[in-house]
Chains A and B, each alone.
Chain A
Amino acid sequence: MNRTPLLQLQGLRVRYGNVLALQGLDLTVHEGELVTLLGSNGAGKSSTLRAISALVPTEGQILWRGGSLGGVPPHRIVRLGIGHCPEGRRVISRQSVLANLELGAWLRRDQAGIRHDLERCFDLFPRLAERRHQLAGSLSGGEQQMLAIARALMGRPTLLMLDEPSLGLAPRLVAEVMQVLKALHREGLTLLLVEQNANAALAIADRAYVLISGRVAQEGPASALRDDEQLRAAYLGG
């Protein structure tokens, strides 16, 4: 592929004090792809997403449609079309489900479009529609995860980054969330999915990167990694 990638990380480094969380990461996401970033705890997956969202200071290059994101503050990154559904859901617990979704559309002014997308979110996650006037903090963990994904979608991102959406969910809910992500991918959304649940992520992804100690240890088509018994045993816990 020689068209300009949507997102390109070149030699990305992130430092927390003396600890180097990312030690020169190279990663590419093309438009329309579902790319998954795998690895164990502390491998640097979340740091990668936080770096792209400008939440942590970085060294190296982050290119969006070929242009550098250096110096762009977090709230401007969203404006460029990069949605980030953070680790641990982070719903605004003291506001209603509806208010959370409206906040997701903070940067938009197209009332008709917002209403349309709101209905679409309620179609994707019918349980949110039933609970739209409840406080987000009163939802179950699974419902909060759905709300966090729906909220990120309300910003109409070009690229949606998700940080461990399956974390702490019952297997049935994990499958449900993955089905939604697969459907969004089919509709043309570009996704960068950070996961510890490698089986679930590889089942829906186009390509995968495996991170170990802040470096890419392996990358390739998801189908190849799915069949790589050795890799699965070594890094992905079967």
Chain B
Amino acid sequence: MIEALLQTLLNGAASGGVYALVALGYTLVFSVLGVINFAQGALFSLGGYLTYLLMGGRIGVNGALPGWGLPAGLPFWLALLLAAAGSGLVALLVERVAFAPLRRRGAEPLLALITSLGAGVVLVNLLQILMGAEGYAFPQESGALAGLPEVLMIGGARIRTIQLLLLLVCSAAVVGLSLWLERSRGGQALRAVAEDATTAQLLGINSDAMVRLAFVLSGALAGLGGSLIGMSVSLPGPYFGIGYGLKGLAVLVLGGLGSVPGAIAGGLLMGLAEALVPAEASGWRDALAFAILFAVLLLRPSGLLGRRTVDKV
């Protein structure tokens, strides 16, 4: 019984950690621009596929280059980091294409919802053309878990090692990012831009560069999430990131728009609640997730840790 509970909690915390990553990505962009980057889910998919390829995975029969793969696979850790960096760079491209031209024209910020959604659709379709719509399992032979056994025994419970690693990587990313935002010079400047971009410019801060940095970081978080899910489950097809993107959006609203602790708390709450749904009722997971969102918003329209008043003018 205890064993089952421990497993359930760990599963919940692990998927909650991934939700938190996605929600933090949204939060970064939202705090500097006041808009949601709807390409976030596509970047999540991209991260998973990049990691797959970097680990030496081959393109399937429906892909553009069937059977093609890198001559040698990288270890999971390295592939994970490179895939995160790659997703970050593509996020920068999304900013240049879908956000920057609108900003320069002083267009209604809501329009960026449409352009970023479009960028996301293009990205997912490119993945489909290149990789095909089939599912992929990560190559397990390239030292994926760095020599660790696939299952660990903790307190009598059988725990999948990858779940534990997933939780560790998510925690490290979330804590690292929070510390950077709170303590570092760059983090201070990013938060200053988030609060008042014009005044930040009057202090000599390049607000545009900070916006770009926010996109790179948010893309890297999404890519990290996609890689971890791909490793712990599989890549079911190019659209798999979209579901996580939507869940991350729910988490973002649940925690409170623009709040970093809110994104983390919301992610964990969502992941744990889902994990408590019994396996035989797993079809109800998403329903439960959005029911929680609905209930929280009825009671607290600004989210769990959101600010009651919006101080953006």
Contacts and interface: CB of A to CB of B under 8 A. Distances in A.
A92 interface: yes
Interface in B171-223: 185, 188-189, 191-192, 195-196, 198-207
Nearest to A100: B192
Interface residues of A, number: 22
B204 A92 contact: no
A106 B199 contact: no
B311 interface: yes
Nearest to A104: B203
A94 interface: yes
B205 A75 contact: yes
B195 A94 contact: yes
Interface in A32-89: 53, 55, 73-75, 78-79, 84, 86
A79 B206 CA distance: 11
B189 A103 contact: yes
A232 B22 CA distance: 61
Contact of B201 (A75, A92, A104, A151): A75
A93 interface: yes
Nearest to A82: B202
Q: Label chain B's interface by main secondary structure.
A: helix
A55 B191 CA distance: 20
A53 B202 contact: yes
Given A92-B195, A94-B195, A86 B188 contact: no
Q: Which 4 A-B pairs have the closest CB atoms?
A: A78-B204, A74-B201, A107-B204, A90-B199
Contact of A155 (B188, B198, B201, B203): B203
Contacts of A93: 195, 311
Contacts of A107: 204
A99 interface: yes
B297 to A, nearest CB: 24
17 contacts: A55-B198, A73-B206, A75-B205, A75-B206, A78-B203, A84-B202, A86-B202, A90-B199, A92-B192, A92-B195, A92-B196, A92-B200, A103-B192, A103-B200, A103-B203, A103-B205, A106-B185
Nearest to B193: A92
A117 interface: no
A102 interface: yes
Contacts of B191: 92, 94-95
